[in-house]
Copies of this chain bind each other. A is one copy, B any other.
Amino acid sequence: MQWHKTLTPLGRQYSGSSLAGRLVGLTNLRRATPAAYRKVRDIVCTYERAGGIGSDLQLTANEKQANDVIMALKLAEYQRGIMDPTQFAPGYHIFQMLYKIKQSPLFKVISSMPKGGALKTHDTSMCSSEFLIKLTHKPHLWVCTREDGRQYEIVQFRYAREQPSSNHQDCSWLRMEELRESRGDRNVHEYLRARFSMYPLSRPQSNADAWSNMMSIFRLVDGLVKYEPNWGEYYYNALKEFHADEVQYVEVRSLLPRLYSLDGQKLQVSDTVKVYNEQLQRFKQQHPDFIDSKLIYAPLRHIDAAKLATHVKLCTELNAAYPELLIGFDLVGQEDLGYPLSAFAMELLKLPQHINFYFHAGQTNWYGSPVDENLVDAVLLGTRRIAHGYALCKHPLIMQLVKQLGIAIEVCPVGNQVLQLGTDYRNHPAASFIANNIPFVISSGNPSFWRTTPLSHDFYLTFLGIAPMNADLTFLKRLAKNSIKYSALKDEDKAKANEKWKLKWDKWIDDVIAQRDELFVAEAKRKAEVQK
């Protein structure tokens, strides 16, 4: 029985569903001869592989050589993991694995890979803890501390000439210098390092618990970064850190807070955007290989419709003033709390159509709840991308729409784990996005708070832990290209952006080939260490 013959020609013109229909219609599967079974198996497996993310790309001869290196490193880690799952980083919490990942030659290769853009970042969770600590060494800094038995706790920071007066917290102000003197420089440094990340809370009891811990860091950092001279410095440094991680384009979701000056004055929101603009121009001048950066105005979602209306109005005004820079709107904060998007639809639809939505949606495990339906609303309101979309697989119709409308999902693997949506990376729903060829990009969310690199850790864990075993350089290349394709750049700027990226990419391919032996030695050494 040559049932497989009727299946040709096989290719993209067949949707999975019509292929399935044909396979089913033809025969009783139990009557297959071994030869027919083998043939159909080949067809199905080929079809499966041909449908995934990156399958549309061809590799050059050079890229194929680099791919051989990358796949050898990947398969070494993968196979070691199958033999002994405790050796497989994507099976565990990032907090346990950060050091191990640093030693991985595959991670080294991915770190140096030109990744295109980072499309989901948040204004005050982009820089490393070390940078935040540096800010605490600036003059005129006051800290409000609370004593709890032998422990002290820093509740708030504030730059000021004189001791700040207004404070609703139960704490007392002193100068940062005094704190350092009384507690010891090194102790304060260690304390800050701990407070600026979620590491102390490595076993939170629930996602609400993890969120509340994260929000407390945002609040603590506020007093440091909202200081007018620091805001620009923070952003400039963030671009620098992302650039060092081989990111050439950055979109920032910002609350656009009003900044304060040393004499206690509050500046206007437009000043905040102005600072962004100045620093961006300076950064672009000094880094000609950098593409660009854009802002998405993203106030907190825990508000009422009236308040939202003022945000929509403000966004419209700021976009008019900075049409190239401030290009989108979103709502941020824990999605499980507050109103669902549908409650804001009336107000949201008033935003001028040329300002795009880039909604957070589906960052929840509560299937079928009003929060879960944000995915429906995000799409029906015309969102251009969806941040997280973790719950998308529970919504097949929306998944179809997302694919057909070309709405990219901003997948944040590490963030989803830290905020307790999932644990093992191998269960991340993005595996289904890959299998169904749903457009997505890799993002990091708030890397500052989990001590990861701007994008490399998320890329590494996606490549090794979420993607199928055979996902290769075409997969990585597609993700990098997606980050430009689905960016807020104008079409003509995308072409230029691709050129800038391609220059670095080709160079990187050569580097990987050149480092082949060195990488293999490192991997062999690692393997030997594990076996000891």
Contact = CB atoms under 8 A, between A and B. Distances in A.
A422 B432 contact: no
A400 B365 CA distance: 25
A397 B206 contact: no
Chain A interface mostly helix, strand, loop or mixed?
Answer: helix
B424 A423 contact: yes
A17 interface: yes
Nearest to A406: B24
A395 B467 contact: no
A31 B353 contact: yes
A381 B37 contact: yes
- Which one of A17, A86, A345, A470 has the highest number of Cβ atoms from chain B below 10 Å of its Cβ? A17
A188 interface: no
Contacts of A33: 349
Contacts of A24: 401, 404-405
Q: How many copies does the complex hold?
A: 2
Given A37-B345, A423-B424, A426-B366, A397 B20 contact: yes
A82 B336 contact: yes
Contact of A207 (B16, B85, B342, B357): B85
A403 B377 CA distance: 28
Nearest to A426: B365
A353 B30 contact: yes
Interface in A377-404: 377, 379-382, 393-398, 400-401, 404
10 contacts: A29-B405, A41-B342, A44-B397, A48-B395, A86-B206, A91-B206, A367-B467, A368-B469, A396-B432, A396-B436
Given A32-B349, A37-B380, A368-B471, 11 more contacts: A20-B400, A30-B357, A31-B353, A32-B380, A33-B349, A34-B345, A34-B349, A45-B376, A48-B376, A367-B469, A393-B431
Interface of A: 15-17, 19-21, 23-24, 28-34, 37-38, 40-41, 44-45, 47-48, 51, 78, 81-82, 84-86, 91, 205-209, 336, 342, 345-346, 349, 353, 357, 365-369, 372-373, 376-377, 379-382, 393-398, 400-401, 404-405, 421-424, 426-427, 429, 431-432, 434-436, 466-471
A-B interface, 10 closest residue pairs, ranked by CB to CB distance from nearest:
A368-B468, A85-B206, A29-B382, A368-B469, A20-B400, A365-B426, A30-B382, A16-B397, A30-B353, A367-B468
